[in-house]
Structure 1
Amino acid sequence: MSDDNETAPGPNDVTESLRSAIGDRYLTYALSTIMHRALPDARDGLKPVHRRILYAMSRLRLSPTGGFLKSAKISGDTMGDFHPHGDAAIYDAMARLAQDFNVRYPLVDGQGNFGNIDGDNPAASRYTEARMTAAAEALLEGLSEDAVDFRDNYDGRLTEPSVLPASFPNLLANGSSGIAVGMATNIPPHNLHELIDACLHLIKSPGAADDSLLTHILGPDFPTGGVIVEPPENMAEAYRTGRGSFRLRAKWEVEDLGRGQWQIVVTEIPYQVQKSKLIEKLAEVIQTKKVPLLADVRDESAEDVRVVLEPRARSVDPEMLMGMLFRNSDLEIRFSLNMNVLIDGLTPKVCSLKEVLRAFLDHRRDVLVRRSRHRLGKIDHRLEVLEGFIIAFLHLDRVIDIIRYDDDPKSALMAEDWAHPHIRATSEKDYVGPKATDPEIALTEVQAEAILNMRLRSLRRLEELELIAERDALRAERQGIMALLADEALQWARIADELRETRKQFGRTSPGGARRTQFALAADVAYVPIEAMIDREPITVVCSQMGWVRAMTGHIDLTRDLKFKDGDAARFTFHAETTDKLLVFGANGRFYTVSAANLPGGRGMGEPLRLMIDLPNEAEIIDILIHKPGEKLLVASTDGNGFVVPEVEVVAQTRAGKQVLNLGASTARLCKRIAGDHVAVVGENRKVLVFGIDELPEMTRGKGVRLQKYKDGGLSDATTFTLADGLTWLDPAGRTRTQSELDEWIGKRATAGRMAPRGFPRDNRFT
Structure 2
Amino acid sequence: MSSDVPDVPDENVAADVEHVRIEDEMEQSYIDYAMSVIAGRALPDVRDGLKPVHRRILYAMHEMGVSSGSSHRKSSSVVGEVMGDYHPHGDSPIYNALVRMAQDFSMRYPLVDGQGNFGSMDGDPPAAMRYTEARMAPIAEELLEDIEKDTVGFTSNYDDRLQEPDVLPSAFPNLLVNGSSGIAVGMSTNIPPHNLGEVIDATIHLIDTPDAEVADLMEHVKGPDFPTGGNIVGKDAIYSAYATGRGRLTVRAEFDVEENPSGKSRIVITELPYQENKARMVERIADNVNEGKIEGVSDLRDESDRNGVRVVVECKRGANVDVVKNQLLEHHLESTFGVINLALVDGQPKVLTLKETLQEYIQHRREVVRRRSEFDLQEAEDRAHILDGRLTAVENAEEVVELIQDAEDRDAAKAALKERYEFSEAQAEHVVRMQLGSLTSAEVGEIEAEYEDVQAEIERLEAILASEEKLDAVVKDELREIKDEYDDDRRTSIVEDAGTVTREDLIPEEDVVVVMTAEDYIKRMPADQFDPQNRGGKGIIGSDPKEGDRVTTVFQAHSHDLLLCFTNHGQVYKLKTYEIPEMSRTARGKSAVNLLDLSDGEDITAVVPTDDLEPDECITMATRDGYVKRTCCDQFENILSTGIRAAKLEDGDELVDVEVTDGTKDLVIATEDGMTIRFDEDEVRQMGRSARGVRGIDLREGDHVAGLVATDDADERDLLTVTRNGYGKRTPLSEYRRQSRYGKGLIDIKTDERNGPVTDVKAVEEDDHIVVMSASGQIMRCPVADISTVGRNTKGVVIMDVDEGDSVACVDVLPAEPASEDESDE
Give the structure-1-normalised TM-score. 0.64
Aligned partners of 1:166, 1:13: CA distance in 2, in Å? 49
Match status 1:140 vs 2:144: yes
**How big is the shift at 1:597?**
11
- Counterpart of 2:295 in structure 1 is 292
- Counterpart of 2:444 in structure 1 is 464
Match status 1:104 vs 2:67: no
Aligned partners of 1:530, 1:442: CA distance in 2, in Å? 92
Aligned partners of 1:187, 1:274: CA distance in 2, in Å? 19
Letter in 1 for 2:245: G
Letter in 1 for 2:186: G
Match status 1:446 vs 2:450: no
Aligned partners of 1:631, 1:144: CA distance in 2, in Å? 74
Letter in 2 for 1:515: R
The change in CA–CA distance for 1:283 and 1:466 in structure 2 (over 3 A counts) is same
User: Which residue, out of 196, 221, 225, partners 1:221?
Assistant: 225
Match status 1:328 vs 2:328: no
The answer on whether the counterparts of 1:39 and 1:180 sit within 8 Å (CA) in structure 2 is yes
Match status 1:473 vs 2:448: no
Deviations 1:271-290 (A, max 9, x none): 10111111111111112211
User: Which residue, out of 493, 496, 517, partners 1:518?
Assistant: 493
The answer on whether the counterparts of 1:64 and 1:132 sit within 8 Å (CA) in structure 2 is yes
Letter in 1 for 2:29: R
The change in CA–CA distance for 1:395 and 1:631 in structure 2 (over 3 A counts) is closer
The residue correspondences of 1:585-600 to structure 2 (distance < 5 A) are: none
- Counterpart of 1:395 in structure 2 is 396
User: Which residue, out of 234, 244, 248, partners 2:247?
Assistant: 244
User: Which residue, out of 90, 94, 102, partners 1:86?
Assistant: 90
User: Which residue, out of 585, 590, 593, partners 1:630?
Assistant: 593
User: Which residue, out of 119, 122, 126, partners 1:115?
Assistant: 119
The answer on whether the counterparts of 2:105 and 2:121 sit within 8 Å (CA) in structure 1 is yes
**How big is the shift at 1:444?**
0.9
- Counterpart of 1:414 in structure 2 is 415
The change in CA–CA distance for 1:529 and 1:261 in structure 2 (over 3 A counts) is closer
Aligned partners of 1:531, 1:192: CA distance in 2, in Å? 42
3-state DSSP class of the match of 2:241? helix
Letter in 1 for 2:170: A
**How big is the shift at 1:532?**
6.7
Aligned partners of 1:107, 1:141: CA distance in 2, in Å? 14
Deviations 1:149-187 (A, max 9, x none): 111111111101100001110000000000111111000
* Aligned-CA RMSD value: 2.9
Match status 1:129 vs 2:133: yes
Aligned partners of 1:96, 1:287: CA distance in 2, in Å? 35
User: Which residue, out of 33, 58, 77, partners 1:73?
Assistant: 77
The residue correspondences of 1:573-722 to structure 2 (distance < 5 A) are: 628=591, 630=593
- Counterpart of 2:366 in structure 1 is 365
The answer on whether the counterparts of 1:414 and 1:444 sit within 8 Å (CA) in structure 2 is no
The answer on whether the counterparts of 1:250 and 1:270 sit within 8 Å (CA) in structure 2 is yes
The change in CA–CA distance for 1:530 and 1:394 in structure 2 (over 3 A counts) is closer
The residue correspondences of 1:512-551 to structure 2 (distance < 5 A) are: 513-524=488-499, 526-528=502-504
3-state DSSP class of the match of 2:504? coil
Match status 1:503 vs 2:483: yes
The answer on whether the counterparts of 1:399 and 1:413 sit within 8 Å (CA) in structure 2 is no
Aligned partners of 1:531, 1:506: CA distance in 2, in Å? 46
Letter in 2 for 1:475: Q
The answer on whether the counterparts of 1:534 and 1:597 sit within 8 Å (CA) in structure 2 is no
**How big is the shift at 1:107?**
0.3
Larger Rg: 2
The answer on whether the counterparts of 2:250 and 2:334 sit within 8 Å (CA) in structure 1 is yes
Match status 1:269 vs 2:272: yes
The residue correspondences of 1:347-358 to structure 2 (distance < 5 A) are: 347-358=348-359
3-state DSSP class of the match of 1:20? helix
Aligned partners of 1:30, 1:626: CA distance in 2, in Å? 61
The residue correspondences of 1:175-186 to structure 2 (distance < 5 A) are: 175-186=179-190
Letter in 1 for 2:291: T
Aligned partners of 1:381, 1:461: CA distance in 2, in Å? 24
Letter in 1 for 2:312: V
Aligned partners of 1:529, 1:415: CA distance in 2, in Å? 95
Match status 1:47 vs 2:51: yes
**How big is the shift at 1:10?**
2.3
- Counterpart of 1:603 in structure 2 is none
3-state DSSP class of the match of 2:47? coil
The residue correspondences of 1:708-747 to structure 2 (distance < 5 A) are: none
3-state DSSP class of the match of 2:473? helix
The change in CA–CA distance for 1:142 and 1:626 in structure 2 (over 3 A counts) is farther
- Counterpart of 2:575 in structure 1 is none
Aligned partners of 1:234, 1:390: CA distance in 2, in Å? 66
The change in CA–CA distance for 1:530 and 1:364 in structure 2 (over 3 A counts) is closer
% identical equivalent positions: 44
**How big is the shift at 1:237?**
1.6
Aligned partners of 1:535, 1:78: CA distance in 2, in Å? 68
- Stretches of structure 1 that go unaligned for 5 or more consecutive residues are 419-439, 508-512, 537-553, 558-578, 580-595, 599-624, 633-767
Deviations 1:254-287 (A, max 9, x none): 1221132221110111110111111111111112
Aligned partners of 1:111, 1:22: CA distance in 2, in Å? 47
- Counterpart of 1:563 in structure 2 is none
Aligned partners of 2:78, 2:140: CA distance in 1, in Å? 15
Letter in 2 for 1:336: G
3-state DSSP class of the match of 2:282? helix
**How big is the shift at 1:402?**
3.4
Deviations 1:12-61 (A, max 9, x none): 32331211111111110000111111111111000000000000000011
- Counterpart of 1:638 in structure 2 is none
The answer on whether the counterparts of 1:372 and 1:481 sit within 8 Å (CA) in structure 2 is yes
3-state DSSP class of the match of 2:248? strand
Aligned partners of 2:49, 2:100: CA distance in 1, in Å? 15
Aligned partners of 1:165, 1:447: CA distance in 2, in Å? 33
Letter in 1 for 2:432: L
Aligned partners of 1:325, 1:40: CA distance in 2, in Å? 36
User: Which residue, out of 57, 62, 72, partners 1:58?
Assistant: 62
The change in CA–CA distance for 1:443 and 1:414 in structure 2 (over 3 A counts) is farther
The change in CA–CA distance for 1:179 and 1:474 in structure 2 (over 3 A counts) is same
- Counterpart of 2:386 in structure 1 is 385
- Stretches of structure 2 that go unaligned for 5 or more consecutive residues are 1-7, 513-540, 545-558, 560-580, 596-826
The answer on whether the counterparts of 1:343 and 1:356 sit within 8 Å (CA) in structure 2 is no
